[in-house]
Amino acid sequence: MINKLVFVLSKAVWSLEGVNVEDDDIELLEKSKVEMHQSEKAKEEDKMEKKKKVVHRKRFPDSPLFQRWGSDLTEDQQTTAQDLFTKYGYNVYLSDQLPLDRSIPDTRYPSCKVKKYPHDLPTLSVVLIFMNEAISIILRAITSIINRTPSHLLKEIVLVDDYSSNRDLKGHLDEQIKNYNAQYPGLLKIVRHQKREGLTQARISGWEASTADVVAILDAHIEVNVGWAEPILSRIKEDRTVIVSPVFDNVRFDDFELIEYNVAADGFDWELWCRYESLPKEWYELKDETAPVRSPSIMGIFAAHRVFLGEIGVLDGGMYIYGGENVELGLRVWQCGGHIEVLPCSRVAHLERAHKPYLLDFSIAMKRNALRVAEVWMDDYKYMVYLAWNLPIENPGIDYGDVSSRKELRKKLKCKSFDWYIKNVYPNLIPLTTVVGYGTVSTGYVYCINARFVLVKKHFQSVSVGKIQIFLLTILLVVWFTWDFSVIILSVSDCVIERFPNLRTCLHSRTLARSLSRHAPYTNE
């Protein structure tokens, strides 16, 4: 091969000196070049293949982070990635390597992609709230907003830092804000809390700092999708009393792949945890998949006419940390003259953490916030919230704070009753109307009830029996809510007798009532 190449090169030199070179010699030269290139390419591919075959020991085989991702990481890299995952609840190691302007799939309906909106729309302030967020996550959110929002509509991006302790969210973030503002003068501003005030107050601070016609209040761990803003601004221009939510897609916490979610309405259960509801029949009858979806409630990400949001009280600043504030907003909007919609043509990708490191037990804050909502907005139905959390209505043992100003707001706005809300807005939220007693059931120090309604020794109680065992004594039935809040119904002809490890027939419902009352009706014992 080398000899041939030398011969051909010699021929090439002779050609320059005026000696004719045959066509087949030129062809041989070109063929040699190709062979050399293919040989080098094969060597590189072989190197890459060998590199891929290097298998590193899995240091954290049970970690959620490494179930789909990270098989090619060295042990040191795995340790770094796991430490960051523990701290943040998502894959910061990967986030720091991804481009800030990465592309994500356009998950809109085809009809949304061709829908036209007016050029003359209201201006937009985008609020991003955070506390100890990874800086690459925040910068990617900012970049997506700038790149995917028409510049003539985007007035400002307001960052609200709820007293972060991470160093890079101080000087480093300030430097990044300066860089953005050098390119987009005055676009970014930051509000820093001087103490930890919680998610709700952070959103209020962002609203207070906003100056555009419309304010969109988002988490900082999001990426807005193409065309996200126009449907929001167009709908609010049509009706200033509507609070709107985009459709959420999910960014997986480990590999940052985007998972498309179906369009759905937003609802909640009696504990006030969010849940998705099926699309209403009326929406399907429109035969227009770009049409707004009437929604009983709203998730934590929403947009509103800035002035209207202030008129109806923004958010309840008495809420702690996390949970319930979105349900409170939804009830207030519906009961006080506004309405809520989900917009199918507006899509936002939301990064869902595997765990929330800033709060290990959400139930503590959530119970308190739920009671605030119940006391202000739910009237005679508030017992359902107490029941769902297994708290006595009198002396629940939780200080939910002063709600007098929120009650005054309701009175001032002449808001409708919760009964009206259930009947006209959220008929799927069904209250139990025949409850005469509720509470967990205990048989003393020796036995507890397992999932088969059998009394077992306490030290044999399995985790599956769960965190919540609530018995409801109704006029006709005993309903047992298990740990996952699924419902098991017992006939009134059965009751638990504490001296026998099984169900015994009761003479009548009063016997059952007495049996339960000996344990813990209306208590949390």
Could you read off the pLDDT of 306-365 as tens digits, one per residue? 999 999 999 999 999 888 999 999 999 999 999 999 999 999 999 999 998 876 677 788
Give the pairing of strands 447-449 and 455-457. Answer: antiparallel
State yes or no: pLDDT of 382 exceeds 80: yes
Instruction: Determine the pLDDT at residue 358.
Output: 74
State yes or no: pLDDT of 466 exceeds 60: no
Instruction: Determine the pLDDT at residue 522.
Output: 34
Instruction: Determine the pLDDT at residue 442.
Output: 52
Which comes out higher in pLDDT, residue 457 or 400? 400
Token couple for 173: 């973030």
Q: How confident is the model at residue 141 (pLDDT cuts 50, 70, 90)?
A: very high
Q: How confident is the model at residue 385 (pLDDT cuts 50, 70, 90)?
A: very high
Q: In the predicted model, what is the mean pLDDT of the chain? A: 83
Q: Which whole number is the average pLDDT over 65-76?
A: 97
Answer for the pair 289, 111: CB distance below 8 angstroms, yes or no: yes
Token couple for 78: 């795995």
Tell me: the pLDDT tens digits for 263-297? 999 999 999 999 999 999 999 999 999 999 999 99
Instruction: Determine the pLDDT at residue 399.
Output: 94
Instruction: Measure the CA angle with vertex 272, ends 269 and 278; round to 5°.
Output: 40
What whole-number percentage of the chain has pLDDT above 90?
Answer: 67
Answer for the pair 482, 405: CB distance below 8 angstroms, yes or no: no
What is d(CA 245, CA 242) in angstroms, rounded to the nearest whole number?
10
What is d(CA 451, CA 454) in angstroms, rounded to the nearest whole number?
7
Place of tokens 């040989």: 39
The domain locations on the chain are 2-53, 64-95, 110-351, 435-517
Instruction: Determine the pLDDT at residue 37.
Output: 64
State yes or no: pLDDT of 483 exceeds 90: no
What is d(CA 273, CA 206) in angstroms, rounded to the nearest whole number?
24
The pTM (predicted TM-score) of the whole model is 0.79
Topology classification of domain 110-351: Spore Coat Polysaccharide Biosynthesis Protein SpsA; Chain A (3.90.550)
Q: How confident is the model at residue 52 (pLDDT cuts 50, 70, 90)?
A: low
Instruction: Determine the pLDDT at residue 47.
Output: 61
Q: Residue 188's CB: how many other CB atoms inside 10 A?
A: 19
Token couple for 73: 């990481």
Q: How confident is the model at residue 463 (pLDDT cuts 50, 70, 90)?
A: very low
Of 118-132, 162-176, 457-471, the range with the lowest mean pLDDT is 457-471
Token couple for 63: 């970690």
Cα pseudo-dihedral 408, 413, 414, 415, rounded to 10: -90
Instruction: Determine the pLDDT at residue 433.
Output: 81
Which comes out higher in pLDDT, residue 330 or 524? 330
Q: Residue 196's CB: how many other CB atoms inside 10 A?
A: 14
Q: Which whole number is the average pLDDT over 418-441?
A: 86
